[in-house]
Structure 1
Amino acid sequence: MSSPHGVDVKYGLLWVAPQASSTSLPALPEGLWPIDDRTFCLVDSWSATASQIIDNFIDVTHFPFVHADTFGQKGRLDVRRLSEVDDGFECEVSARGKRLIGGGNSDDVEERILTYRYYFPFSLALTIAYPRRGIFDRIFLALQPETTQSTLVYKLVLRGEGANLSEEQAREEALLQRQITAEDKNMVQQLPLSGIDLRSYEERHVLLDEPTRLLRKVMLSKLSGGE
């Protein structure tokens, strides 16, 4: 077996490059991603392409129905900010969702501000701010294509920044995140295994289509450039 081109440890994950990489590792904002006892990582294999999983992760329009049993809530969704950067893009979305207390559902609905940062090709960071409570959740998604029809999903989660969670609450939060991830997996695995149509990057029916449209544009631009 030949030696890998590069090996690195970052964000609590081991990164291995079998060959020379066309891009560097995602540069998450320094100081915002401590790897400590509040952090846990979900690892699972999905019968879906990496592009489908990324596309689903930034599609906020599916919240009310895919996540109806967890935080999904019908209501206004607003794209507040969207900007393209060298190795991906950033967007900020305002959404209202159920406040989850003790791992269960509540009738209490609260605003959440979701800030996405996509890194080409298959990494994405998400910060979820809850303004009323002054706390943050952070999620980092790293995808490793296994075959043309399966992807290994690494989901690093830092829950409850700014909140003093008990050990029991931390366990409940971990179980809740597994449930949310299972909801996404169940939906994505029902899609045809054909990736996403990059030619559709010019389509935008409503403003909420803009993040997924920009994902296609960035992917097409990078791939057309030979990356």
Structure 2
Amino acid sequence: MTNPPTNPLLLDNTSAVARRAWHVAATSAEVRDEPVQVWLLGEPWVLVRLDGVVRAFPDRCPHRLAPLSAGRVTDGTLQCGYHGWRFAPDGACVEMPALGKTDRISKRAALSAPAGVTERYGLVWLAPEHPVSPIPEFPEWEDPAYQTALCEVVRTPASAAQLVDNFMDASHFPFVHAETFGAGESAQVVEPGIATGDGWVATTFQTWYRTMDDPKAAAGERPAVQRQDLFKQGFASYNVYLRLGFPDLDWTFGIMFCCRPESAEATRVYKLVARRDDLPPDAARLAAWVKDQDLITQEDLGILERYPHRHIHLDRHAELHTRADRLSLAWRGLMADACRAITQEPFATEPIAPQSSAPESFRDAEDGFRQAGLS
């Protein structure tokens, strides 16, 4: 099991709180006839499709701890490639070839299953322990009025927490994304307030967006820079849902952004996109738009990968916040709630930033998040 970080007010790819969340483990297309190994929170897992249903287990046989991903699917079971032990879809060991035919198989030989594994939006989702928030809804993905695509899956040294914190932010658009959609008009952050629910936070930014693939804008028939109602919803996990509405165009984009913390040094990023516009369907234009989305991700990584650390702070004193940061602060507070729930406050902490004193507990951190940066 992944251990909590040394300082529990730092959120990174080793934080135990992520065990209680849904993660994208793979695309459905990647899990076919043979077992597949994936890494999550520093641990290897094996994904295998048995009787048409994706199953997940820790990637080790209880016999000699050999990776089960080196095995095969045999007669509807997962067979270890080392000594041939076979496991049923529920994880029960049903055969040990070296012992011959026997019904005396120890219960200790069974594989342990995660709290949840399922498929949705063409992705395989895995929750090691009971998740505190659901898999996000992505209605645009299943709406036939939308064109949909999976962007390039990216592996980065930036942490999942850094990636999500960045994705919740709106004030970096005209600077980080100046070569793509970032318009100077979007520099000022305007939002009506933060909505909260059971395991989520959200707001709608009133901002601006430079369209990159509008032939009518290229022909001078309408402006390239358009008003945008940008809805962002973050969860007690490393998944974010976005809906981009363009009131003057009657266009809508949907984005699902999911980050899997593979290890302390690596995160895998999945980005699903959907769009509805007033233009004729065009496969080439959709492909070009997906490449633009890939470029936008690379622009973010150009900043995040240059950080000397791979965490974000849950200590309000470690950084200077403004009211433009209210959504990302609310998400950090949501994660602080989840962290406190599993660490059973109170506990002592060391100062995170030398110029400030650390809070005495997560409750102090949460109270600070709700007060900080609103002036």
Distance in 2 between residues matched to 1:201 and 1:34, nearest whole Å: 43
**Larger RCO, structure (CA 8 Å, separation 6 or more):** 1
8 Å contact from structure 2 (residues 159, 310) kept in 1: yes
Superposed displacement of residue 165, structure 1:
2.9
8 Å contact from structure 1 (residues 112, 130) kept in 2: yes
Superposed displacement of residue 174, structure 1:
1.1
Question: Where do 5+ consecutive residues of structure 1 fail to align?
Answer: none
Q: In structure 2, what is the equivalent of residue 50 of structure 1? A: 160
Matched, 1:80 2:189: no
State how 1:40-119 maps to structure 2 within 5 Å: 40-42=149-151, 43-75=153-185, 76-101=188-213, 108-119=224-235
8 Å contact from structure 2 (residues 160, 267) kept in 1: yes
Q: In structure 2, what is the equivalent of residue 32 of structure 1? A: 140
Q: In structure 1, what is the equivalent of residue 330 of structure 2? A: 214
Q: In structure 2, what is the equivalent of residue 188 of structure 1? A: 304
Q: Pick from 105, 113, 129 the counterpart of residue 4 of structure 1.
A: 113
Distance in 1 between residues matched to 2:207 and 2:327, nearest whole Å: 14
Pair 1:81–1:162, CA change in 2 (3 A): farther
Distance in 1 between residues matched to 2:173 and 2:149, nearest whole Å: 23
Moved more, 168-177 or 201-210: 201-210
Distance in 2 between residues matched to 1:99 and 1:140, nearest whole Å: 19
Distance in 2 between residues matched to 1:202 and 1:11, nearest whole Å: 38
8 Å contact from structure 2 (residues 205, 231) kept in 1: yes
Structure 1 or 2, whichever has the larger Rg, is 2
Moved more, 94-103 or 208-217: 94-103
SS at match of 2:275: strand
Superposed displacement of residue 182, structure 1:
1.1
Distance in 2 between residues matched to 1:159 and 1:201, nearest whole Å: 40
Q: TM-score, normalised by structure 2?
A: 0.55
Q: In structure 2, what is the equivalent of residue 167 of structure 1? A: 283
Q: Pick from 20, 33, 36 the counterpart of residue 129 of structure 2.
A: 20
8 Å contact from structure 1 (residues 145, 152) kept in 2: yes
User: Which of the two has greater strand per residue?
Assistant: 1
Pair 1:69–1:77, CA change in 2 (3 A): same
Distance in 1 between residues matched to 2:148 and 2:317, nearest whole Å: 35
SS at match of 1:215: helix
Q: CA RMSD in A?
A: 2.5
SS at match of 1:78: coil
Moved more, 48-57 or 191-200: 191-200
Superposed displacement of residue 35, structure 1:
7.3
SS at match of 1:177: helix
SS at match of 1:225: helix
Pair 1:152–1:4, CA change in 2 (3 A): farther
Distance in 1 between residues matched to 2:204 and 2:118, nearest whole Å: 30
8 Å contact from structure 2 (residues 133, 200) kept in 1: no
Question: How many percent of aligned residue pairs carry the same amino acid?
Answer: 25
SS at match of 1:68: coil
Q: TM-score, normalised by structure 1?
A: 0.88
Moved more, 81-90 or 19-28: 19-28
